[in-house]
Chain A
Amino acid sequence: MTLLLPLAGALILSLLRLPRRVQGLVGAGSILLAFLSGLLMVSSGGGPGPYPFAAHGALSQPGVEVQLGTWLAAGTLRIPLGLWVDGLTAVFVLVITGVGFLIHVYSLGYMAGESDADYGRYFASMNLFVAAMLLLVLADSFPLLLVGWAGVGFTSYLLIGFWYTRPAAVVAARKAFILNTVGDVGLILAIALMAARLGTVDFTGVLGPAGAAALAAHPAVATWIGLLLFVAAAAKSAQLPLQAWLSDAMEGPTPVSALIHAATMVTAGVYLIARTQAVYAASPAAAAWAGDLGALTAFAAATVGVFSYDIKRLLAYSTMSQVGYMISGVAFGAVAAGVSHVVTHAFFKALLFMAVGLVMHAVSDERDMRRMGGLARRLPLARWGFLAGALALAGIPPFAGFWSKDAVMGGLLHGGDLFAYALLALAALLTPFYIFRAYYLTFGGKYRGEGEVHPHASRSLQWPTVVLAVLAVVGGIFAVLLQSGWGTALDPGSMAISTVLALIGWGAAWSIYRGGDIRADAWTAGALGAAVRSEYGWEGLWQGALVRPAHGVAAWLLGAWEGRAWPAAQSATAAGAAALGHGLSLWQSGLVRRYALSMFCGAALLLLWALVR
């Protein structure tokens, strides 16, 4: 049910031509209804608070499973069509629809400048996205999850490239889709592995007691499945080595970034790994790879954020970094911590994007922080919203982010990889630094831009920001409830360390940037800064190693093979046939005596043959 509403919304919007207000109503309204039905679903299931969910191991008892029939069957493999609801699902459904609804409302105002057709197209795509994401978390088998998974990738392609007349947006959308396809292939291969070795691809089969036993018996299989699943998760969640698309994805409208690249799509990878705990429990090797790469991403992305000038890209790197926390957490088994960070991150990251959206609307879509500044008095809502988000992101208690981020780090400190913990701790130092650098440069000091500042924010832009700001402040409650409900205790030692790290980072930023003076930022210019900003040359590497060779091979095949080799072979065959014919035709000389000679010879041969027999 929850699923169908946004889907219906998408269909209505794409097929009918409606007046603008109705479009907005349908678009946002469908998500609101989805949220309400999600609440209904949750409350009728396992009750509030502790959900029936066994962390670390077999998900043997779903809260509710709804079987709708067989999707596909071949030989002994049967792929069911059904839905699966448990605690993990419930959390994600509520976040997707709840935060999604707020973002839709925000979009009503943000996208008001678009044409009617584009306005409808926007909401249709957004609704389709939410529908796909819901399918992803509600699916009861891996292939069905893949349908939602790819649907999310497809709709994000539509949304990143929303302003398709802009070449940068088009390229970004394509890059995102192709990297996501690599992830999809990883998931397909994982499914193939499951089908081949475990004989089943639905959740009960793979993650239930039978599957867990099989995985434990064949750790190599579990490792490969785990690695392939991580490839998929890395693509979707923008982790190394498939992370290149997220920063470019900022070409899309800001609410798109808020929804897709803060709250939902990038967390799909986290969901996947959280869901498949049975696999990672059976294969510490795969868990280590996933967790370490997640932590490495967390750190590396944070470093790039420190040097960024483009405020949206900075938030993108921040997302990459925070999702690295989540992935690392769930990979090493701190599922409650990782998922609670999904929740809080949705709050504060969406809030940050909304605030940035307000800023961009006011300064004619300028994104470079060097041309901002002094906006605190002109844009108070943006300023306070950004501040709330920054405090949450930085992990300063008692704001929302602290509770979840620290839980992840605590989980790693005690249960996981110390290498990963160290990376996360370093990132925890850098995060407050870069976000407060952004805050001070954007809102402090004097305005450095060229145009006028036009603060205009309709109510649709304002009140979601306010709601999210409140959630960023008090949302820690959800995190704590989640963790306690799923059996994770609070860890004072780790909390202390995290607080200290956060305060140090903030302090450093405050001391350098508090005046909002751009000259304090001069150290980010220069060769080191440029190298870091280019993601350490990653794009060049990617292009040189993969993209250009692929096009090169394509051109070679078309030129040398299709253009020359095959036609040459065809011509040679034709020429050969013609030559044969020509040669044979020499016999037809028209000379009677020669014909007579050949007749005689033939007759003689026949006679000889008859005599010999």
Chain B
Amino acid sequence: MPVGLPFYLALSAVLFVIGGLGVLLRRDPLVMVMAIELMWNAANLAFVAAARHYGDMGGQVFVFVVITVAAADVAIGLALTVLLGRTRGTLDADRLKWLRG
């Protein structure tokens, strides 16, 4: 049976949810960054699949934008994680709560 758009979107959704749960349930900032990366890529998958299905190359172009932004996001995220680990000594998101309201 040919693999149609719904399957790709379903996969994308599953990846997104996994990533989302990863952000919500994991406490290590590094793992949270990885989960966010997973969410970005889930979106990328959805873009590519839709571009292929509708014949609109705009989706594939947009993937490049997303990859760029995701890279920047990871760069900053990892930098923050390293600095936090160095200065605060802990890598537990629940303990990193000095920016209270």
Contact = CB atoms under 8 A, between A and B. Distances in A.
| Contact between chain A and chain B defined by CB under 8 Å | yes
B14 interface: no
B94 A591 contact: yes
Interface string A576-606: 0000000001011111110011001000000
B16 to A, nearest CB: 11
B27 interface: yes
A593 B101 contact: no
Nearest to A588: B101
B24 A596 contact: yes
B24 A590 contact: no
A600 B24 contact: yes
Contacts of B98: 590
A585 B101 contact: yes
Contacts of A596: 23-24
Contacts of B99: 590
Contact of B97 (A585, A587, A589): A589
B100 A589 contact: yes
Given A587-B101, A593-B94, A600-B24, 13 more contacts: A588-B100, A588-B101, A589-B100, A589-B101, A590-B99, A590-B101, A592-B93, A592-B96, A593-B24, A593-B25, A593-B27, A597-B24, A600-B20
3 nearest A-B pairs in the assembled complex, by CB-CB distance: A588-B101, A590-B97, A590-B100
Given A587-B101, A588-B100, A588-B101, A593 B20 contact: no
Contacts of B25: 593
Contacts of A592: 32, 93, 96-97
A591 B24 contact: no
Interface in B68-101: 93-94, 96-101
A504 B24 CA distance: 116
B8 to A, nearest CB: 20
A597 B100 CA distance: 16
A590 B25 CA distance: 16
Contacts of A588: 100-101
Nearest to B97: A590
A607 to B, nearest CB: 12
A591 B101 contact: no
Nearest to A595: B99
A596 B27 CA distance: 12
Contacts of B96: 590, 592
User: For chain B, what secondary structure do more than half of its interface residues adopt (helix, strand, loop), or is it mixed?
Assistant: loop
Contacts of A589: 97, 100-101
B37 to A, nearest CB: 15
A46 to B, nearest CB: 93
Nearest to A592: B93
Contacts of A600: 20, 24
A593 B93 contact: yes
A111 B12 CA distance: 112
Contact of B93 (A585, A587, A591, A597): A591
A585 B100 CA distance: 9
15 contacts: A585-B101, A587-B101, A588-B100, A589-B97, A589-B101, A590-B98, A590-B99, A590-B100, A590-B101, A591-B93, A592-B97, A593-B25, A593-B93, A593-B94, A596-B24
Contacts of B100: 588-590
Interface string A355-388: 0000000000000000000000000000000000
Nearest to B100: A590
Contacts of B93: 591-593
B101 to A, nearest CB: 2
A589 B25 CA distance: 17
A241 B100 CA distance: 74
A583 to B, nearest CB: 12
Contacts of A593: 23-25, 27, 93-94
Contacts of A590: 96-101
Interface in B7-33: 20, 23-25, 27, 32
Contacts of A585: 101
B38 to A, nearest CB: 14
A596 B97 CA distance: 13
Nearest to B36: A596
A457 to B, nearest CB: 93
A134 to B, nearest CB: 78
B65 to A, nearest CB: 20
A585 B24 CA distance: 22
A126 to B, nearest CB: 77
A600 B24 CA distance: 9
B21 to A, nearest CB: 10
B99 to A, nearest CB: 5
B25 to A, nearest CB: 8
A91 B28 CA distance: 110
A588 B94 CA distance: 13
Interface in B29-45: 32
Contacts of B97: 589-592
A585 B99 CA distance: 12
Contacts of B24: 593, 596-597, 600
A579 to B, nearest CB: 16
Q: Give the most central of B20, B24, B25: most A CB within 10 Å.
A: B24
A600 B17 CA distance: 11
B6 to A, nearest CB: 17
Contacts of B23: 593, 596
A588 B97 CA distance: 10
Quick one: which of A585, A589, A593 has the most chain B CB within 10 A? A593
